[in-house]
Amino acid sequence: MFCCRYEAPAAYEGMKTEAPNCDYGGEFKSIEAVDQFTVKMTLCNPDPAYLSKVAFAAFQIQDSDYLDEMGGDSAKMAENPNGTGAYVVKEWVRGDHITFEANPNYWGEAPTIKTLIFRWSAEAAQRLLELQSGTVDAVFAPAAEDFETIQADSNLVLIPYDSPNVFYLGMNNTIPPFDNDKVRQAMAMAIDKKGLVDLLYPPGSTVAEQFVPPSIVPGFSTTGDGAKHQRSLVHSWIMLLLVRNHSLCLAGAWITRMQPTSMISISPVVCLVSGKNGPIL
């Protein structure tokens, strides 16, 4: 006859941060580590976009020991990445390349590709040349003018994707004449956004009618009174012609990019210069 003693595992000591109330203006009432694999987040208000937000990279969950070691310093965390993904960083040469190797301790299905190398190249033409020569397996963001070349090559495949980028012109509404919403609307009307999209952006790009791009759902809205908005803009254009003693120069447009493209620098397209009788186009 023998006996053994069983020691129960220590109870999990979770962590919880909770606001006294929601008057502070944020979204979270509390965040709690319920157990080793569960985090509970209590919101102050319903948020239909919450699941999309929690999947964003900035929302990644790190263990407390790692955060304490890094002191919460994002720069240090970038230099010493910590995660549970399929790959680990083997080498990082700033501005040149970064090498990943398959994580032998990955919890999921083992990756079929053992090594990944990402290299930086500022020139779209150079990236395409390397792709055509076979020195790389894929390139990101080919130039719009190279789309037809890629599509005509039976060895290459062009893969379009919805980009969440919005190119816009910001105005400080605390400084005259931008404190007048009619002036801001008039400036928006003065820019030939459709012309800029057709001339400078790749096929699939559209003129934005709101700040949220179509690829963000929930968030993007298909409702609105376009006709009423256009009438308001006509009135706004008249208001702009009444502005005195201001010189304005517009450089940009409000554009949604829907396919991969290189960064494009747009020169000023509309200038309003004050004259004796008001702004001169």
- Determine contact, residues 158/151, Cβ cutoff 8 Å: yes
Strands 16-18 and 28-35: antiparallel
Prior bond of 177 cis (ω within 30°): yes
Q: How far apart are CA 149 and CA 136, in angstroms?
A: 17
Domains of the chain: 16-61 (no CATH), 87-152 (3.40.190.10), 165-217+227-280 (no CATH)
Strands 16-18 and 38-43: unpaired
pLDDT at 256 (0 to 100): 36
Q: Does residue 40 carry a pLDDT above 90?
A: yes
**Residue type for position 233:** L
Residue 151 contacts by C-beta under 8 Å, 6 or more apart in sequence? 158
Radius of gyration of the chain from its Cα atoms, rounded to whole angstroms: 27
Note the residue count of the chain.
281
**Residue type for position 23:** D
Model's pTM, two decimal places? 0.57
**pLDDT tens digit sequence for 226-261:** 444 554 544 444 444 444 344 443 333 333 333 333
**pLDDT tens digit sequence for 96-129:** 999 999 999 999 999 999 999 999 988 999 999 9
**pLDDT tens digit sequence for 136-168:** 999 988 888 898 899 999 999 998 887 777 888
**Residue type for position 211:** F
**pLDDT tens digit sequence for 61-77:** 888 889 899 998 888 98
